[in-house]
Structures are given as C-alpha cells and as structure tokens.
C-alpha cells in the first residue's frame, strides 16, 4: 500500500511540510509506504479548457511543461492521496489547485475511487474554507474522504511553529491512522479500528 502526499507550499521546511511529515511518519509506522512531492516554487499551468486530453483519450494533460503529468503518473502505483496547503486569503495555494484540477480532469481514472485527504495550515483563520475547497474535486471523483478527530488543520506562521500545535499534530497522526486502516480494509478486508490517543486539546492564548 502506498500514499502519495503533495505539499502545495512554496516554503522549504515550512509548517505544511511539518504537518505532512507527521502524516508520512505515522503511515510508515502503520506499514504504509508514503512519498511526499513538493511543488515548491515551480510554475504550474492552469487548465485552459482545451479538452485535448478528453478528445484524444490521453489520460494525461496535453501540456507537458510542468509537474502535472509527472505527479499524476505516480497515482498508477499509489492507493491514496493527501494534499496539503498553506492558507492564502482563505484559500489553498493557487498552484496546488491548478494541479489538482488538471490531474483529475485529464487523468481521472488514476484517482477515481481511491481515498483522499486534505490538510490546511494557517496563521489564524480561513483554514476551514481552504480545507473544504481542497476536498471538493475529490468528492466529484467518488474518492472516499479520510477524516480525523477534527478538521485536518494545524496552525503556525514561522517555520516549524506548527510542530508546537499539539492538537494539530495529533490530528495529523489520527488522520494517518485512519487512512492506513481504510487502506487495509480495502485491500484485505482485515484490520481493527485504530486505537485513539488520549485527546490533547489546545487553545492559542499562551
């Protein structure tokens, strides 16, 4: 079993990376392979509705000058996908959403029916709106949405601050446990529900 994790943040070692690393580490502890791919600062085309991918049944985008086809090809061997993004103006990174829209439209058969999850990182607000936005394309592809003990959100501004969000990091681990369990159920029909950590609530006045 393998999970593809896409980091939609342009920051190297930022808070989105911290949250996704927590998911990757937990998945691997549960026996699931995980790969993180970072978009970084590379430009990503938006869909121009040329429809060439559909007209010619390419199962890939007609444009091959960015990471879209390289990343969507990874779903040939991945059983699930997790995407993560910082919050910009109450929305996910635009490059990440351009990537997701093009991948699902041009190569939807690689994604359809596979579990999916999204993670939003923010300084203060807008995370729930960004989180919902990231999930909507997956819902159109019949992809089971993997949840956690809370919305998949963590907080932080400066690099590494989200690691101090103890509830946020616990939310990431719970998400990973739930995803590993779901994949095991899909592939083998076996596996007990994951054991829950004692809840670690956290407020932000400190």
Residue 136 has pLDDT above 80, yes or no: yes
SS (H, E, C) the chain: CEEEEEECCCCCCCHHHHHHHHHHHHHHHCCCEEEEEECCCCCCCCCCCCCHHHHCCCCCCCCCCCCHHHHHHHHHCCCEEEEEEEEECCEECHHHHHHHHHHHHHCHHHCCCCCEEEEEEECCCCHHHHHHHHHHHHHCCCCCECCCCCCCEEECCCCCHHHHCHHHHHHHHHHHHHHHHHHHHHHHCCCCCCCCCCCCCCCCCC
* Contact indicator for 93, 39 with CB cutoff of 8 Å: yes
Question: What is the rounded average pLDDT for all residues in the chain?
Answer: 96
pTM for the whole thing? 0.95
pLDDT band at 205, cuts 50/70/90?
A: low
Break the chain into its structural domains and give their ranges: 2-188
189-203 pLDDT, tens digit each = 988 889 889 999 988
What pLDDT is stored for residue 206 in this prediction?
63
Q: Report, as an integer, the average pLDDT of 28-37.
A: 98
Centre a 10 Å sphere on the Cβ of residue 85 and count the other Cβ atoms it contains: 29
- Residues facing 121 on adjacent strands: 86, 154
pLDDT at res. 191: 85
pLDDT in tens, 55-99: 999 999 999 999 999 999 999 999 999 999 999 999 999 999 999
* Of the options 3.40.50.720, 3.30.70.260, 1.10.3720.10, 3.40.50.360, the CATH number for the domain spanning 2-188: 3.40.50.360
pLDDT at 153: 98
């Amino acid at each position: 079993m393998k999970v593809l994790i896409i980091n939609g943040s342009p920051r190297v070692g930022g808070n989105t990376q911290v949250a996704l690393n927590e998911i990757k580490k937990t998945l691997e502890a549960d026996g699931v392979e995980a790969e993180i791919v970072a978009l970084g600062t590379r430009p990503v085309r938006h869909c121009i509705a040329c429809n060439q991918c559909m007209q010619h049944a390419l199962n890939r985008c007609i444009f091959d000058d960015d990471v879209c086809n390289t990343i969507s090809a990874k779903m040939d061997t991945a059983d699930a996908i997790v995407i993560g993004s910082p919050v910009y103006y109450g929305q996910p990174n635009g490059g990440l959403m351009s990537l997701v829209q093009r991948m699902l439209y041009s190569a939807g058969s690689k994604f359809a029916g596979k579990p999916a999850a999204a993670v939003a990182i923010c300084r203060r607000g807008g995370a729930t709106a960004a989180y919902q936005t990231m999930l909507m394309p997956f819902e159109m592809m019949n992809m089971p949405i993997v949840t956690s003990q809370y919305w998949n959100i963590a907080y932080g501004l400066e690099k590494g601050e989200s690691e101090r969000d103890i509830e946020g990091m616990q939310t990431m681990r719970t998400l990973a446990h739930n995803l590993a369990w779901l994949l095991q159920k899909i592939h083998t029909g076996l596996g007990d529900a994951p054991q829950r950590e004692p809840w670690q609530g956290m407020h932000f006045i400190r």
